[in-house]
Amino acid sequence: MLEPYQTCHQLRVIALETPYRPTLTDNDLEDLVKAWPHLEVFHLIQHGIPYPLVHLTLRGITALLYHCPKLRHFALMFDATWVPEDTALLSRGILSAVKYMGVDRSPVSPSDDVAAYFSTIMPYLEVVCVHDRHGDWSQWQWICSQHQQIPVVRENLSPEELRIILTGTGDHHNTYFSRDWEWKSLRNW
């Protein structure tokens, strides 16, 4: 689904919503993001999938932050129940500007290692959005309580709220929609 965008090296924003289950692995994500050094926003939202499979780990998130140093916002599902050994080595020297992280239904473990990972690699994190107040909500709250910035945990933003935050246009009384922003892929890539 994302391969056609690899030739667009100046991309700053990718925000896609899909009803399909992308099987994005750590290696797949790293291969993709190498082409987008200017990326500031990366949202891959799986819409309408009650229990999506998760293939990404913190290793993939580390690659995203390493190859996209300008990244400020991202939303992906990933496994945050453990920190892969090589991730600690890979994350050295990365000081990400990420302030918003959407985790949707990402599994997480309230462990010191996972909390330290987020504090170290995303020191400016302000908001963590989860799918709803069920599932792993309390685990994400614990992770955020260990972070030096103590990010706010909130429910996922609607596509409209996200567009307003990312583009700085409109408000809840006066919103503007464009085909580019509201585009949804119905094709199974």
Distance in angstroms (rounded) separating the CA atoms of residues 115 and 149: 12
Distance in angstroms (rounded) separating the CA atoms of residues 154 and 94: 26
Domain membership flag for residue 187: no
| pLDDT above 70 as % of the chain | 76
Domain membership flag for residue 170: yes
List pLDDT tens digits, range 40-87: 999 987 777 667 778 999 999 999 999 999 999 999 999 999 998 876
Residues 41, 73 contacting (CB under 8 angstroms) = yes
Return the sign of the alpha-carbon dihedral for residues 40, 15, 144, 172. positive
Domain membership flag for residue 121: yes
The owner of tokens 């990365």 is 94
- Here the tokens at position 162 are 């996200």
Distance in angstroms (rounded) separating the CA atoms of residues 173 and 109: 39
Confidence of residue 91 (pLDDT cuts 50, 70, 90): low
Report the number of distinct structural domains present in the chain: 1
Say if residue 143's pLDDT is above 70: yes
DSSP-derived letter for residue 123 is: T
Q: Can you give the CATH number for the domain in which 54 is found?
A: 3.80.10
List pLDDT tens digits, range 5-52: 788 889 999 888 777 767 889 999 999 999 999 999 999 877 776 677
Distance between start and end Cα atoms, the chain: 5
Segment 148-176 shows an average pLDDT of 69
- Here the tokens at position 59 are 């290793």
Expressed as residue numbers, the domain containing 148 is 3-182
Domain membership flag for residue 189: no
- Provide the pLDDT for residue 117: 92
- Provide the pLDDT for residue 93: 64
Segment 83-111 shows an average pLDDT of 82
Distance in angstroms (rounded) separating the CA atoms of residues 86 and 88: 5
Domain membership flag for residue 188: no
Please give the mean pLDDT across all residues of the chain: 81
Residues 24, 44 contacting (CB under 8 angstroms) = yes
pTM: 0.81
Say if residue 173's pLDDT is above 60: no
